[in-house]
Amino acid sequence: MALMDALPLQSARWRPWQPNPVLLCLAVAMLATLAGLDVVSVAPNRIAAPTGYSLWGATGIPGAALALLLLGAMTGLAAYPGRYRYPALLTVSGLLLALIPFAMMLAAFRLIEPGVAQARLGIGPALWVLLFMLMLCLVELRLRMQLARGWLLLMLLPIVGVWWLCAAFWLDRLALVQEFQARHDAFYRALVEHLALVGIAVTLSTVLGVAIAMLIRRFAAGRTTAFAILNFFQTIPSLALFGLLLAPLAWLSARFDALAAIGVQGIGWTPALIALVAYSLLPMVRNTHVALEAVSPAALDAARGMGMRPAQRFLLVRLPLALPILLEGLRITTVQAIGLTAVAALIGAGGLGTLIFQGLGQSAMSMVLLGALPIIVMAFVADTALGTLAARLRHGDSTRQGDRA
């Protein structure tokens, strides 16, 4: 037996075909994307039709060769196993992400003549696909390497830093950057409006949602009715709900001066806020209700038997045990509200949606992006932050106690 152990195993010398199918497909797809789609586009001014350029055309031999090299390495690493396969793949993915702005700088340098002040560089379809696929790669790598979500974010931070640095100082030819520089006041105002609307709507619906959930617990008979009403709100399309609120609010504001004085009117932030809260209530109430009901009866019985008063039972036992599921509701509500607020711009509520709809009206894609990208980032950040918080709080809850309930 000892002799057998001493012999080198055959597989140690000869590597079998053991690909990671996900990463292999992604790497090949990225190669195909770069070969087939346009990487950047150049337009002589803001609204003129842009001309697309392939990677070869945009960055010339050095850019194309570097991309081919990195993606080739990625394909190879994904296809054959090795001890450092996943860390190496992570490095290559990060490198690709960090190099994208430099490729754009190179393209701007090669394709745009310094004299043409209005000319601008657009991000082509290939780059969007590449970004999306690299994100998928990171997700897969995170799962394979069993990294905590926080570590991945920490790794993304320097890459985002590189992007920001490039955008702030050297990428002034990029349409998105030009759009931002042209209207950064409007952008910041829209951002603040957006955040304020989401913040107020989520706060209100949390307070209301928890209150309704507790009322439902007390008056069990009202449960079906309450959920039916909340479900009904959820089924109305958001635009229709904004429209439906227009008439009654306009009437109210005309009828009562006090309401008009605080800014209630048919269009603007009032109907937006009401609609946002109405939409947020269902996930909030449902999750709060489920969370409060899911608390282990044994723990509650023990709490009573130990001599906790009703308020102590709620604050010391029921609420903390319900918190993870409750936060899950808050997460869904917040992400949903961030997206819905964009639509609220249509009825004059302000927010980043304004930029999107203005951009659509002027067929200026970079302006649409200027509104859309921060919304995506906000939703992503809210989702991650609240998800992580919920997971942390769940720590003590992953027990037989909880499972038995």
Provide the binding-site residues for another protein, judged by CB under 8 A. 296, 298-309, 312, 316-317, 320-321, 395-402, 404
In the complex, least distance from residue 291 CB atom to another protein, rounded to whole angstroms: 13
In the complex, least distance from residue 209 CB atom to another protein, rounded to whole angstroms: 22
CA dihedral 37, 40, 43, 48 (to 10 degrees): 40
In the complex, least distance from residue 287 CB atom to another protein, rounded to whole angstroms: 18
Of 231 and 301, the one with the shorter C-beta distance to another protein is 301
Backbone φ and ψ for 38, nearest 5 degrees, come out as: -80, 140
In the complex, least distance from residue 269 CB atom to another protein, rounded to whole angstroms: 39
What is the token pair recorded at 252?
Answer: 């109210």
Of 244, 122, 220, the residue nearest 177 (C-alpha): 122
In the complex, least distance from residue 308 CB atom to another protein, rounded to whole angstroms: 6
Of 199 and 310, the one with the shorter C-beta distance to another protein is 310
Of 161 and 297, the one with the shorter C-beta distance to another protein is 297
Q: Where are the alpha helices (DSSP H) in 84-183?
A: 85-111, 125-145, 149-169, 175-182
Q: Where are the alpha helices (DSSP H) in 221-296?
A: 223-235, 238-255, 257-261, 269-293
Of 55 and 299, the one with the shorter C-beta distance to another protein is 299
The number of CA neighbours under 13 Å toward the Cβ of 56 is: 5
Report the alpha-carbon distance of residue 86 to residue 130 in Å, rounded: 19
Of 195 and 308, the one with the shorter C-beta distance to another protein is 308
In the complex, least distance from residue 322 CB atom to another protein, rounded to whole angstroms: 10
Of 9 and 311, the one with the shorter C-beta distance to another protein is 311
Query: 10 Å Cβ neighbour count for 198?
Result: 27
Of 85, 101, 115, 100, the residue nearest 22 (C-alpha): 85
What SS3 state is found at 23?
A: helix
Of 16 and 305, the one with the shorter C-beta distance to another protein is 305
Q: String of b and e for 246-284 (b: at least 16 CB within 10 Å)?
A: eeebbeebeeeeeeeeeebbbbbbbbbbbbbbbbbbbbb
Of 49 and 311, the one with the shorter C-beta distance to another protein is 311
Residues 299/380, Cβ–Cβ less than 8 Å: no
Of 160 and 316, the one with the shorter C-beta distance to another protein is 316
Report the alpha-carbon distance of residue 89 to residue 141 in Å, rounded: 8
Angle at 295 between CA 291 and CA 298, to 5 degrees: 170
In the complex, least distance from residue 296 CB atom to another protein, rounded to whole angstroms: 7
In the complex, least distance from residue 396 CB atom to another protein, rounded to whole angstroms: 4
CA dihedral 143, 69, 105, 375 (to 10 degrees): -20
In the complex, least distance from residue 317 CB atom to another protein, rounded to whole angstroms: 6
